[in-house]
A and B are shown apart, each in its own frame.
Chain A
Amino acid sequence: MLSLIRSLGKNRRLLSDMVRRDLRARYVGSAMGFFWSVIFPLLNLVIYMFVFSFVLKNRWDPGQTDQETALLMLAGILVWNAFAETMSRSTNTLVENQNLIQKIVFPSEILPVYLAISSLVNMLIGVAIALIAVAFYAWVSPMVPVAGAPPPMHAIGFSYTLAALPLLLAVQLVFTVGLGFVFSTLNLFARDVFHIMGVALTVGMFMTPIFYPARMVQEAGMGWVLKCNPMYWLIDSYRRVLVYGLWPQLPIVGAFAVVALIVFLLGATFFSRQKPRFPDLL
């Protein structure tokens, strides 16, 4: 396990090369290139605004405006997408790179790591778009409060609490890489894992309050589901920072960090125990 972390340090240049290539590979050969990274979150924002304010007329809380709902959804989906993308890609990454693993001496532990970093960097582009939208609705075109409703719980906007962002990214990275180690290895034992992962991610997305408020789950008496869902803790923390300019709640971030660390340690141990067998398992 320690040798695995040391190997990551030793191969950091290869790691950064692979991240750079992966970010470029997303759009190489497409005419709009990098702008797709900008267009996707923008498009998401517009769609949520349209669907939830014109079609469903769904508001999470009385007193919440359509724009606020859309921004909360955007923040949630950005984080979830980065997580889901890494999970589905890293589950299959050892199989995809079998020519490297079987034909040359290759530090396979960098594969789940570079995928996670690449997704996070890509997510940051979306985060920047989200912050621009937050600034726009907070200061340029403030929202009109709903008549007769109670005043909003928090005002939207961001502040110096953005300083918590690197911490959130770091714990997210540790959590995602740890799971990546586990599932990339498991997938060598049974390739079904890759297919199960696709289903599990869809289920996970709807189990996590991204398109509906956590309050609805609690009112339905299903609050325990949220208590066992670390991704909800993470998304909730991101929302506080990005949409409301608040500090994340320490117990929640702390709990996530502990879970992330445990997952990472277990994953890295499992991965490095099985690593000598990779060429034979492929």
Chain B
Amino acid sequence: MSTTTTKVSAPGATSSSGAAVLCRGAGKAYRLYDKPVHRLWELLLPGKKFHREFWALRNVYLDIPHGSTVGIIGENGAGKSTLLKLLTGITLPTAGEVQVQGRISSLLELGAGFHPEFSGRDNIHLSCSILGMSEAEIEERFAKIVEFSELGDFIERPVKTYSSGMYVRLGFAVASSVDPDILMIDEALSVGDEHFRGKCVNRLNEFREQGKTTIFVSHDMGAIKSMCQHVILLDRGEILEQGRPEKVADEYLKRAKSRGNERLSSFDRGTSEYPRWGTGEIETTDVEMIDAQGQPSLVFQPGESFRVRIRYKVHGAAANPVFGFGLYRSDGTYVNGANHHWREHPIEIRDCVPGETGVVEMRFDALPLLSGSYYLTTFLYDHSKAAPTAIDHREHVLTFQVVDARRLQHGMLFLPSHWSVVRDRPGQGATTLESDA
């Protein structure tokens, strides 16, 4: 990408500005064809229309000054990638105008153009050449690229023998060596291990310190909040909100939450596709998760209080029914299981008669989970015999999300902690700093 000044505009637009990126009413419409052959008819018979238009993006007004770091967020299909393609000049706007000043490097795809049979060394040369570097520039940066990619002796071996991690490392090392004025990244950082991701973030911080402009797409609200000065929230092809990271990211989370709850109401819990078995004397009719405000929800924040509520209906006699939950992470990791019988002070339910209904609730005062997708399985077993038998066992009743906006801790669990630092400075004696939260 050897652009010095790219001005891309739809017919009839004019502009002038000193901003790094300027969009004035930019929009992109894709042509949708019912049949592939309609494209050919349209080419051969000019004047006849065989397509429908789909506006992936419209009415985009942006003014991004040099040296800023900008995040683009939004749900899948909101138009984030289309916006990046417009800004990089890969596609042209259908309406309005996009103006970019400076050399652009885009990390829309790492390792684009690598040839599997050739060594890392050969691929670095050709990739750099594709990215518009001169022979001298390549020579100068070659050693740095190899060092950054941490490939070692593998640099002489064919790329087809690389692990996907090595491939991505080489791709990032090449693309970020272009020394651009504007760097555009499309979720490229979501790959690679923790160590390499750290290196990438460092590289981005270096860019920022050099006063360069970075524009990136991410779903990681923590990264958005900590790195960006300006955030753009896209929704169905339009800019819903842009401005301070805190404000826009919170708006996004709020929307994600209400979107999740919409799914809750449309979820037909009677015909779950997951297995359910048991003798059926008692039926668990309803399973709900309730948030701190007492509203049914499927999206929670770490530390929030929440309740799981089961409604039941008795159809036949059961000697000693016990209700319980299993909490699983989306990958199947069993996080927690509990019931009201295995407690220091158990609850006993005896003498159920047909027609009885009731509500069982389990309350967590502070949800200890960090970001992720989880699901609930409910157990209803008869504990009157040595081996409990299933009355109504329902796998995967509910799926819920934990969305972590604050990112105070990393990993799977939030563990409440106390910190203290004792500083002993010469001449000032010891001071103790403490943090309880």
A residues contacting B by CB (< 8 A) are 13-14, 17-18, 21, 24-25, 28-29, 97, 99-106, 186, 188-191, 276, 279-281
The answer, among B109, B122, B135, for a CB contact under 8 Å with A21, is B122
The answer, among A18, A105, A280, for a CB contact under 8 Å with B3, is A105
Q: 9 pairs across A/B with beta carbons < 8 Å?
A: A17-B129, A28-B118, A102-B90, A103-B106, A103-B109, A103-B112, A104-B106, A104-B108, A190-B39
Q: Is the CB of B39 within 8 A of A103?
A: no
Q: Given the known A-B contacts A99-B112, A99-B113, A280-B31, are A105 and B89 also in contact in the complex, defined by CB atoms under 8 Å?
A: yes
B residues contacting A by CB (< 8 A) are 1, 3, 30-31, 36-37, 39-40, 43, 85, 88-92, 104, 106, 108-109, 112-113, 115, 117-118, 122, 125-126, 129-131, 134-135, 158
Alpha-carbon distance A17/B1, docked complex (angstroms):
17
Q: Given the known A-B contacts A17-B125, A276-B92, A280-B31, are A104 and B85 also in contact in the complex, defined by CB atoms under 8 Å?
A: no
B129: chain A residues within 8 A (beta carbon): 13-14, 17
Q: Is the CB of B40 within 8 A of A190?
A: yes
Closest to A281 in B: B39
Alpha-carbon distance A28/B39, docked complex (angstroms):
38
The smallest C-beta distance from B105 to any residue of chain A, in angstroms, reads 9
The smallest C-beta distance from B227 to any residue of chain A, in angstroms, reads 23
B88: chain A residues within 8 A (beta carbon): 104-105
Alpha-carbon distance A167/B39, docked complex (angstroms):
39
Alpha-carbon distance A28/B117, docked complex (angstroms):
7
Q: Is the CB of A17 within 8 A of B126?
A: yes
Q: Is the CB of A189 within 8 A of B39?
A: yes
Q: Is the CB of B3 within 8 A of A190?
A: no
Q: Is the CB of B40 within 8 A of A189?
A: yes
A276: chain B residues within 8 A (beta carbon): 91-92
Q: Given the known A-B contacts A13-B129, A104-B131, are A190 and B117 also in contact in the complex, defined by CB atoms under 8 Å?
A: no
Q: Given the known A-B contacts A104-B90, A280-B30, are A21 and B115 also in contact in the complex, defined by CB atoms under 8 Å?
A: yes
Interface centre among B39, B40, B104, B130 (most CB of A within 10 A): B130
Q: Given the known A-B contacts A103-B106, A104-B130, are A279 and B118 also in contact in the complex, defined by CB atoms under 8 Å?
A: no
Q: Is the CB of A21 within 8 A of B40?
A: no
Q: Is the CB of A105 within 8 A of B1?
A: yes
B3: chain A residues within 8 A (beta carbon): 105
The smallest C-beta distance from B181 to any residue of chain A, in angstroms, reads 14
Q: Is the CB of A14 within 8 A of B130?
A: yes
Q: Given the known A-B contacts A189-B43, A281-B39, are A104 and B135 also in contact in the complex, defined by CB atoms under 8 Å?
A: no
Interface centre among A14, A101, A104, A280 (most CB of B within 10 A): A104
The smallest C-beta distance from B39 to any residue of chain A, in angstroms, reads 4
B104: chain A residues within 8 A (beta carbon): 105
Alpha-carbon distance A115/B135, docked complex (angstroms):
22
The smallest C-beta distance from B142 to any residue of chain A, in angstroms, reads 15
B158: chain A residues within 8 A (beta carbon): 29
A102: chain B residues within 8 A (beta carbon): 85, 90
The smallest C-beta distance from B188 to any residue of chain A, in angstroms, reads 11
Q: Is the CB of A25 within 8 A of B115?
A: yes
B112: chain A residues within 8 A (beta carbon): 99-100, 103-104
